[in-house]
Amino acid sequence: MSGHSTYVPGTAFERWLEKRLPIISLVHDSFVSFPTPKNLNYFWTFGAILSAMLGWQILTGMVLAMHYAANDAVAFASVEHIMRDVNYGWLLRYGHANGASFFFIAVYIHIFRGLYFGSYKEPREVLWILGMIIFLLMMATGFMGYVLPWGQMSFWGATVITNLFSAIPLVGSSIVTWLWGGFSVGDPTLNRFFSLHYLLPFMIAGVVILHVWALHVVGQNNPAGIEPKSTEDTVPFTPYATSKDVFATVVFFVIFAWFIFYVPNYTGDPDNYIEANPLATPAHIEPEWYFLPFYAILRSIPDKLGGVLCMFGAIAVLFVLPWLDTSKVRSATYRPLYRQFFWILVIVSVGLGWLGAQPPEGGYVIASRLFTAYYFIHFLVILPLLGLIETPKPLPTSISEAVLAKNGHQPAHT
């Protein structure tokens, strides 16, 4: 954090550079000597996993762009060309398409980690909001990327999602025409989406730098949710956090590789292997799995504008979460009631995801409405009230004490 750097330039070159651009000491202070709470569990490795995924998406995306053509006449064929003709094209495309899914798996775990351990609370509000901006940018990037292969789902997904803006009173349909660059989704739309799909990941990278900066100003939260009090409570980032991060990232990529090599189309929709046809909508359209909870919320409201507002509202409540949760205690470990509501929220969110893939009829609609209502009640009613009525368990006086309380009654060595 603040204070003097512990970095000692070793060589004459390092001393020379340090006077001109203190970049080595910046990296040293941020990723080597940076004090990390010593009780971090594996849920804290997802930041590193997410950074690796962003790097992977940029790397595979950049080479896909060398073979892809953003033109409605040839886009679909160019993706098939990547799959069949380009050397290792299948690997690059499957790596990129599944990469998006794994990126979202990691970000959802990362977000729910924050919800469980209260990582959004004072003084980490800005850190949390920067994370939410990254999440929004990721959604925009994933959505536009999915349009590029120009299959039926690409086309109709793009149509339905851009049409959300037509719900805006008065100017809605002019906005949609402007987004399309025409009177329907077409070649101009594909072209601009490609341009933005290339740009946004670099904007994500920029916001990630701000996110990590904010993290290093306020320090990491930890499973006990209390601030480190002394150097007893922390360990240096390297080697402790680095090795754990690298290990978790490798495990994550092994699972990811299993998907790429054995079930590469598992998360995809077969309809997207049919070329876009502006004159026929597939019988059942649904977005990629990572958008399904929001899609379920959209469909559960019988009014067009209302549905769109609720869908965006579902993300908006996350932005103001630091001010909705009135409890000062961060970690759910010490919040007996919140802990239960947290798991209900997990079930409701996954349930909404499942409902988003069901046809919009009968019992599914009723269930979607109940789950949507609960989602908002959790954030707007339960969280504010819980802080007032819940009696938290006594907090440990320090991270060291929390660690000992957890492991102390067991033999120290096995």
Question: Cβ 29 to ligand HEM, closest distance in Å?
Answer: 28
As a whole number of angstroms, the distance between CA 114 and CA 346 comes to 13
Q: CA of 157: how far to CAs of 39, 62, 98, 150, 394, in Å?
A: 44, 24, 18, 10, 50
Question: Considering beta carbons, is residue 133 or 160 the nearer one to other proteins?
Answer: 160
As a whole number of angstroms, the distance between CA 192 and CA 148 comes to 10
Contacts to ligand HEM from residues 229-268, by CB under 6 A: 268
CB 99 within 8 A of CB 56: yes
In this structure, what token pair is assigned to residue 175?
Answer: 């906005």
Cβ neighbours, 10 Å, residue 72: 19
Q: Which residues fall within 8 angstroms of residue 63, CB to CB, at 6 or more apart?
A: 92
Which of 267, 191, 199 is closest to 62 using CA atoms? 199
DSSP symbol at 36? E
Query: Pick from 28, 96, 335, 378: which binds ligand HEM (CB under 6 A)?
Result: 96
Contacts to ligand HEM from residues 168-197, by CB under 6 A: 197
Q: CA of 286: how far to CAs of 130, 293, 357, in Å?
A: 29, 11, 6
Residue 97 near ligand HEM by CB under 6 A: yes
Q: Which residues fall within 8 angstroms of residue 387, CB to CB, at 6 or more apart?
A: 325, 326, 327, 328
Contacts to other proteins from residues 304-323, by CB under 8 A: 304, 307
Residue 68 interface partner, choices other proteins, ligand HEM, none, CB cut-off 5-8 Å depending on type? ligand HEM
Residue 213 near other proteins by CB under 8 A: no
Please name the amino acid found at residue 49: I
DSSP symbol at 236? E
Residue 238 interface partner, choices ligand HEM, other proteins, none, CB cut-off 5-8 Å depending on type? none
Residue 105 near ligand HEM by CB under 6 A: no
Residue 12 near other proteins by CB under 8 A: no
Residue 159 interface partner, choices ligand HEM, other proteins, none, CB cut-off 5-8 Å depending on type? other proteins
What binding mask, one character per residue, do residues 35-74 give for ligand HEM by CB under 6 A, x or -? -------------------x--xx--xx-xx--x------
Residue 181 near other proteins by CB under 8 A: yes
Residue 178 near other proteins by CB under 8 A: yes
What binding mask, one character per residue, do residues 275-294 give for other proteins by CB under 8 A, x or -? ---xxxx-xxx---------
In this structure, what token pair is assigned to residue 410?
Answer: 């067991």
Contacts to other proteins from residues 373-402, by CB under 8 A: none
Q: What are phi and psi of 413, to 5 degrees?
A: -125, 145
Query: Pick from 25, 37, 86, 93: which binds ligand HEM (CB under 6 A)?
Result: 93
Please name the amino acid found at residue 362: G
Torsion from C-alpha of 96, 98, 100, 103, nearest 10 degrees = -120
Burial class (CB in 10 A: 0-12, 13-18, 19+), 75: buried
The number of residues that bind other proteins (CB under 8 A) is: 33
Query: Pick from 145, 223, 307, 356: which binds ligand HEM (CB under 6 A)?
Result: 145
Q: CA of 78: how far to CAs of 74, 99, 148, 290, in Å?
A: 6, 20, 10, 26
Contacts to ligand HEM from residues 70-89, by CB under 6 A: 79
Q: Is it true that the peptide bond before 123 is cis, omega within 30 degrees of 0?
A: yes
Query: Pick from 22, 360, 384, 387: which binds other proteins (CB under 8 A)?
Result: 360
Residue 195 near other proteins by CB under 8 A: no
Residue 183 near other proteins by CB under 8 A: yes
Question: Considering beta carbons, is residue 15 or 284 the nearer one to other proteins?
Answer: 284
What binding mask, one character per residue, do residues 196-215 give for ligand HEM by CB under 6 A, x or -? -xx--x--x-----------
Residue 204 interface partner, choices other proteins, ligand HEM, none, CB cut-off 5-8 Å depending on type? ligand HEM
Binding site for ligand HEM (CB under 6 A): 54, 57-58, 61-62, 64-65, 68, 79, 93, 96-97, 100, 103, 138, 141-142, 145-146, 148-149, 197-198, 201, 204, 268
Residues near other proteins (CB under 8 A):
156, 159-160, 162-164, 166, 177-186, 188, 192, 278-281, 283-285, 299, 302-304, 307, 360-361
